[in-house]
Structure 1
Amino acid sequence: MQYFLTFFETMPVWMKAGWIFFVLSIFWIFEGYYKLVFAKYNKWRHAKTNLILLVFVMLINVVFGIATVGIFLWLSDSNFGLLPLINVPIWLELLLSILVLDLIAQYFVHYLLHKVQWMWRLHTVHHSDKNVDVTTGTRHHPFDFIIRETFALIAVVIMGMPIAFYLFYRILSVLFTYFTHANISLPKQLDKALSYVIVTPNMHKFHHHYQMPWTDSNFGNMFSIWDRLFGTFVYADTSKIKYGLDIADHINDENILNQLHLPFNKTVRYRKKFDS
């Protein structure tokens, strides 16, 4: 187990970047054979906008990577956090760390991104995509991603976890992000059965419906237990899903400048969502 974790701790940058593009490519290929939605759009032009946003995300990751090293050195010296207080096998420490990271750095921050108005403005970039596919997983406004990474570091400090746990979580998170956004159709019974434990492609697509209340449901990234526990789980007929965002349907979702400016665009009205 220690060797397994050491692998992620010493994983070179090129391998981490390679993992992102490998998983992205695998689900891109699957989308050609097992489509959930048969929409007519230029897949490469659509991907261009989302991949440019991925570049911003990767640059932010470099900055947070530097900050992360300092935090893990401090945690190692201080023994701060919950993990040093308990005596359990390392595999259980890893599982607990992943659960807390998924709860705080995925479910909880995602919930806030929908419920806090200034945060929702940033998050609309992700939801404005009218053709959700695997590249939508990379579609985050830079400020949105900074918020997410900040909450990940908060979870790290709370648990006092070693860097190997965090890096393993990041690898898993990439897999689930592209899996759940991919325009793929699993057998309905299999997708529904899996959704009792993990977030599935069908389950996450309801979250990308253009209107409430589905937009404010299914916040999880890896585990569906949080949505079930906190009453935000939805599973219905996928044929009723329409992608995009009703408050920003007039905005070109494939124009990178429009998307970077979207949170600050005064023509987009948000009041109705927050007055309800």
Structure 2
Amino acid sequence: MESFLGFFEELTTLQKLAWVIGCLSFFWILEGYYTFSKKSYKKWRHALSNAAFMGFTMLINVVFGILTVGVFVWTNQQEFGLLYLFELPVILELLIALLVLDFIAQYGVHYLLHKVPAMWRLHIIHHSDKNVDVTTGTRHHPLDFVLRETFALLAVFITGMPVAFYLFYRILSVLFTYWTHANIQLPAKLDKALSYVIVTPTLHKFHHHREMPWTDTNFGNMFSIWDRFFGTFLYDDPSKIVYGVDIADHLDDQHVGVQLGIPFNKSVRSKKASTM
């Protein structure tokens, strides 16, 4: 197990980038064969627009990479964190680390991004995409992504996990981000069965429906257990899903400048609940 985890510590920046591009490419290809939404749109233009947001996140990752190293050095030197309080097999420690990261850095911050008005203004950009596909996974306002990275560091600080655990989580998170946003459809029974434990493509599509209350459901990234436990889980008829977000549908969802201005755009009204 140690050698397996050690592999992730040795990953170069180029290898990590290759993983991101590989996951994007793999699901991009699958979208042509197992399509969920057959709505016609300019796929390459859509991808280039979302790639601009990916560029912002890559720059932010450089800064947070430095901060992350500092946190790991401090927790290791001070032996600070939950995992220092007891001895467990490595596989169990890894599972605990993944669960804490998924809860705090994914479900927790995602829930707050929907419930705290100022944070929601940043998160609207992710929901304003009217053609959700694999590239939507890269679509975040820079400050939205900063909040996500901050919560990830908080999870590291709380657990005191080894850097290998964190890097393994990051690799898995990339995979799940593109898997859940990809415009693919699994056999209905398989998707629903998997959704009892992990987030599936169809499960996450309900979260991207343009109206409340579905917009405020299915916050998980990897594990669906948090949504089930906290009562935010939803699985309904996928044919009812319409992408976008009603409060910003009047804006060009592929104009990067327009989208970056959403948090300050007074024509984007507050979120209101509606019935399905």
Percent sequence identity is 67
Q: In the aligned structure 2, how far is the partner of 1:143 from the partner of 1:63?
A: 13
Whether the 8 Å CA contact 2:212–2:272 is kept in 1: the answer is no
Which residue of structure 1 aligns with residue 129 of structure 2?
129
Structure 1 match to 2:61: 61
Task: Output one character per residue of 1:156-200: Cα deviation in whole Å (capped at 9) or x when no partner.
Answer: 000000111001000000000000000001000000000000000
Q: Which amino acid in structure 1 is aligned with residue 20 of structure 2?
A: I
Q: How does 1:1-276 map onto structure 2 within 5 Å?
A: 1-270=1-270, 272=272
- Two-structure CA RMSD over aligned residues (Å): 0.7
Supply the AA of the counterpart residue of 2:211: Q
Superposition TM-score, scaled by structure 1 size: 0.98
Cα distance between partner residues in 2 of 1:270 and 1:9: 44
1:70-97 CA distances to partner (integer Å, 9 max, x unpaired)?
1101111000000010110011100100
In structure 1, give the amino acid aligned to 2:155. A
How high is the TM-score relative to the length of structure 2? Answer: 0.98
Amino acid at match of 1:255: H
Residue 271 of structure 1: how far off its partner (Å): 5.6
Displaced runs of 4 or more, over 2 A: none
Gaps of at least 5 residues in structure 1 are: none
Structure 2 unaligned residues grouped into runs of 5+: none
Distance 1:271 1:79, change over 3 A: same
- SS class of match (1:192): helix
Supply the distance in 2 between the matched residues of 1:158 and 1:204 (Cα, whole angstroms).
28
